[in-house]
Chain A
Amino acid sequence: MKNNIRIERAIKNITQAELAELIGVSRQTINTIESNRYVPSTVLALKIAKVFDKPVEEIFMLSEED
């Protein structure tokens, strides 16, 4: 699964730490999601989408191997 959290963060101008704080996870978790090493649960994906005020599909999308 791919995501564009990094881009969305740049648009909204918040750091990984601030995003982590907003959704109640560790900075490490945000970092692993951004670098595609961890696939978040639906709950977490929805929370992230809510922060950026966008539908989940605009932030997370399936990749070829999914």
Chain B
Amino acid sequence: MKSRFLFPHWCRYVGYVLVIAHIPVMLLRKMISFDTSGSPINNSLLSPHHLFFMTTTLLMAIGLFLAAFSKEKVEDEQILQLRLDSLQWAIYVNYVLLIVSLIFSTDTQHILFLNLLVPLVFFIVRFQWKIFQNNRLLRKDENPS
């Protein structure tokens, strides 16, 4: 069975590097409080603030995207099934969170940000966890001690 629309396996590592590289940049931004919104200049399109936000968020989103949708070492129908299952879970979780946050919060910017992160992060964690479980069961089966 052929899996379509997936990146090569090495893209996963590029993705992880981008996501990890994004964390110190984000912390730095918070520390030097570059993130102060409110002044009218900050909210205009292509202002330094907007450009900074755009590039860092884009880097993180691309990183997550690459990490989530790259091929496994052996792509077969069982992996395909796991991927599909995990995607369904990720969408469920995302929509539950989205609905809850829409009811209890009016901070639309953070809701948007959450919505950007949750599906991909949940998908990656659930998918990798299932693969880890399969590997563990395989090892147990091979050396039953």
List A residues at the B interface (Cβ < 8 Å).
Answer: 16, 24-29, 31-32, 35, 38, 40-41, 43-44
Contacts and interface: CB of A to CB of B under 8 A. Distances in A.
Interface of B: 1, 72-74, 76-79, 81, 131, 134-135, 137-138, 141-142
A29 B76 contact: yes
Nearest to B77: A41
Contacts of B81: 38
Contacts of B72: 26
A25 B134 CA distance: 14
B77 A25 contact: yes
A56 B134 CA distance: 25
Nearest to B78: A29
A28 B1 contact: no
Nearest to A34: B141
Top 4 A-B pairs, shortest CB-CB distance? A26-B74, A25-B76, A29-B78, A28-B134
A60 to B, nearest CB: 15
Contacts of A43: 1, 77
Nearest to B135: A28
A21 to B, nearest CB: 10
B137 A38 contact: no
